[in-house]
Amino acid sequence: MMRILPLLLLLAACGPIVQVGGNTPPPDALLTLRATATGSAPAGPVTLANALQVEVPMVPGTLQTTRVAVTVADTRVQYLPKANWAEQPNRQFARLLGDTLSANGVVVLDARAGGPRAGRVLGGELAEFGLDMRRGTPTVRVRYDAVLVGGGRTATRRFEASAPAAGDSGNAVAIALNQAANALAADVAAWVKGG
């Protein structure tokens, strides 16, 4: 015990091993996504078999952050300064997707509630979600590779949406990404209802 105490004191004098937040100033506001679809009641009887669970999609390493990704070249990604999401974009996208599906008459069960498991599961990968500056004009791009499992079968489909951004500020990019994500979510809802 006596040998460990000096070592612990030495480590404590070194300061924090991990610095959370770095030296960058915090953003003025955090960015969020919101579903714009309006609601309708489910058609037909509600059963666990036709209910759906929306999983948080996987993301590539460039999107495993709360920073806003900016594609500047085919092999280079930067991050928008002074712009941060309230939480990782894939979690916000999953909620937006669930809200849009619910508004389109699909029964969506929340997996976090710990209740019974839905008969169908929607998962996949949010492969793109950010600002694209490769062509010089600010354009947001969203790409979701969806996987729908249920009823003894698996279906896959790629969904893509883009929208022009009014600029490269965090607010302008968030507004455009919200628009593109909602358009994409409407396409996913139509696909899920049809299949």
Residues of the chain above pLDDT 70, percent: 81
CB 131 within 8 A of CB 63: no
Torsion sign (Cα): 134, 31, 122, 112: positive
Q: What's the CA gap between 89 and 85, in Å, rounded?
A: 7
Which phi and psi (to 5°) does residue 101 adopt? -60, -45
- Work out the mean pLDDT of the chain and round it to a whole number: 86
Averaged pLDDT, 82-105: 95
Q: What's the CA gap between 134 and 147, in Å, rounded?
A: 29
Question: How much is the pLDDT for 3?
Answer: 59
Question: How much is the pLDDT for 17?
Answer: 46
Q: What's the CA gap between 81 and 188, in Å, rounded?
A: 31
Tens of pLDDT, residue by residue over 118-172, are 889 999 999 999 999 999 899 999 999 999 999 889 999 999 999 999 998 999 9
Q: Which of 51-55, 114-118, 145-149 is modeled with the greatest confidence?
A: 145-149
Averaged pLDDT, 2-16: 50
Q: Where are the alpha helices (DSSP H) in the chain?
A: 4-13, 89-103, 170-194
Q: What's the CA gap between 49 and 57, in Å, rounded?
A: 22
Q: Could you state, in order of their start, the residue ranges of all structural domains in the chain?
A: 47-194
Q: What is the CATH number of domain 47-194?
A: 3.40.50.10610
